[in-house]
Structure 1
Amino acid sequence: MPAVFEFDRYAQLFSELGASGHPAELHGHLVGRLSAGARLDHATWLSVAQELIDGRNAPGEAAKVALIQLYDATLSQLSGSGFDVTLLLPDDSAAIDHRTQTLGQWCEGFLGGFGLVERKMALSEEAEGVLRDFAAIGQVQTELEESEANEVDYMEIMEYVRMATLLVFSECQDSATGQDQPPASLH
């Protein structure tokens, strides 16, 4: 996994900023906006990220660089031809209930970001189903026991979220209006 997607890096950043938000939710929000067709310049992304982080402290230069790297790497993955997207989630060494809760936060963030972007065309039935599934995953109950069955379930759901994200992204790119972009100024 590329260093830019190391969950602990952003968990530490959120901690340093005294954040109320969660790293997975921030990344889900970003992926949701990008999937709906929005593109943000770096200044706009930093403003959105700072609002979602909801920290007591303003991000310094290192935090801003990390957030811009996350934006660029995420857009690159989604736009690439490799059908590869990395979700910003804790690695397998974290407790299953923490990973499950974090996946739920990611899905909630995705729905929030996706819903902020105006689209010209309706979603397919399949994409509508994905959004309903993400809403259900966002309501996940934690306090799961460490077990092989829970591990398998988590991995299957995480892989589903990954692939479903790519489906929604590919469907929405043609109909997107890119409303998050500031209008080009005519001089």
Structure 2
Amino acid sequence: MSAAFDYDRFDQLFRQLGAAGYPAELHGHLVGRLSAGSRLDHGTWLDVAREVIDGRGAPGEADRILLIQLYDSSLAQLAGSGFDLQLLLPDDEAPIDQRTQALGQWCEGFLGGFGLVARERALSEEADSVLADFAAISQVQSDLEESEANEVDFMEVMEYVRMAVLMLFSECQPAETSQDQPPASLH
């Protein structure tokens, strides 16, 4: 796992900054914006991240680099041809209720980030359905007991979220305009 997706490292950063937000929420917000078609320069992303983190202090140089790596890695994963999108969540060793709560925070962040981006056309029915599902997931109760059934349910929901994000990303990207082509002449 790359440092950009080390949940514990982000959790430590959020605690150091006295953050009101959560690491999963930050990543969801970022992926929501990217999925909706937004692109941010690194400076703007750091400003957005500082807002979502909502801490008492500003991230130091190493933390800013980590946040930029998260941005770059997330965009690369979304734009890549594979299905290698990672969600910034606690690892499998964390208690199931903590992972479930983080997945809810991730979905909540996604909805917030996605909703901030203006779109040129309406979403498909399938995309609207996904956003409704994410809203339901964000309301998840986190008092789950450790059990094989809860583990399987969590993995299925997490996989659904990953695949749904990739679908939303592909639906919402602006159409490529071929501005590099000279206009056709009318001879």
Separation in 1, partners of 2:106, 2:98: 12
Separation in 2, partners of 1:149, 1:132: 24
- The superposition leaves residues 123-167 of structure 1 with CA deviations (integer Å, 9 ceiling, x where unpaired) of 111111100000000000111000000000000000000000000
Match for residue 86 of structure 1? 86
What is the CA RMSD across the aligned residues, in angstroms?
A: 1.1
**TM-score, length of structure 1 as denominator length:** 0.92
1:52 aligns with 2:39: no
Following superposition, the deviation at residue 57 of structure 1 comes to 1.1
Pair 175,135 (structure 1): closer, same or farther in 2 beyond 3 Å:
farther
Match for residue 101 of structure 1? 101
Structure index of larger Rg: 2
Match for residue 140 of structure 2? 140
Following superposition, the deviation at residue 2 of structure 1 comes to 2.3
Match for residue 7 of structure 2? 7
Identity of aligned residues (%): 73
Match for residue 24 of structure 1? 24
Aligned letter for 1:159?
E
Contact 2:4/2:70 (8 A) holds in 1: yes
Match for residue 184 of structure 1? none
Contact 2:5/2:70 (8 A) holds in 1: yes
Moved more, 57-66 or 111-120: 57-66
1:170 aligns with 2:173: no
Aligned letter for 1:163?
M
Separation in 2, partners of 1:12, 1:88: 14
Moved more, 99-108 or 11-20: 11-20
Separation in 2, partners of 1:3, 1:35: 22
Provide the aligned length of Structure 1 versus Structure 2: 176
What 5-or-longer segments of structure 1 have no aligned partner?
177-187
Match for residue 110 of structure 1? 110
Separation in 1, partners of 2:81, 2:174: 16
Contact 1:120/1:175 (8 A) holds in 2: no
**TM-score, length of structure 2 as denominator length:** 0.92
1:161 aligns with 2:161: yes
Q: SS state of the match for residue 102, structure 1?
A: helix
Q: SS state of the match for residue 119, structure 1?
A: coil
- The superposition leaves residues 71-119 of structure 1 with CA deviations (integer Å, 9 ceiling, x where unpaired) of 0000010011112210000000000000000000000000000000000
Separation in 2, partners of 1:75, 1:151: 28
Match for residue 76 of structure 1? 76
